[in-house]
């Protein structure tokens, strides 16, 4: 699956917040590097739990959180619930 708008946005947020490697973000979130990679490559989407964790760790403002939520919802509709991670 090609990188999605969600994946591009997450990668941009990660790097702009100083998490230059996926491992750095994974450690801050308390998840695995492959999980972050799957989100960024469009192979999975964050669940509500991980969406909330991402918002806190990345210190998202209201606009960024709205964009993140919208992209997650959009991808979930297209991909279906089985790809959520």
Q: Which domains does the chain have, with CATH numbers?
A: 5-83 (1.10.260.40)
Whether residue 54 is predicted with pLDDT greater than 90 in this model: the reply is yes
Q: Are 23 and 33 in contact (CB under 8 A)?
A: yes
Whether residue 1 is predicted with pLDDT greater than 50 in this model: the reply is no
Phi, psi of 69 (to 5 degrees): -60, -40
CA 5 to chain centre: 10
pLDDT at 75: 82
Cα 73 to Cα 17: distance, rounded to the nearest angstrom: 23
In this prediction the pTM is 0.84
8-19 burial code (b ≥16 CB/10 A, e <16)? ebbbebbeeeeb
- pLDDT digits over 19-34, tens only? 999 999 999 999 999 9
Per-residue tokens: 71: 């992209």
């Amino acid at each position: 699956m090609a990188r999605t708008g969600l994946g591009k946005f997450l990668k941009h947020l990660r790097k702009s917040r100083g998490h230059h490697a996926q491992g750095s973000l994974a450690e801050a979130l308390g998840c695995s590097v492959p999980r972050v990679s799957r989100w960024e490559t469009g192979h999975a989407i964050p669940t509500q739990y991980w969406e909330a964790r991402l918002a806190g760790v990345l210190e998202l403002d209201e606009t960024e959180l709205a964009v993140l939520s919208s992209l997650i919802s959009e991808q979930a509709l297209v991909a279906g619930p089985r790809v959520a991670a």
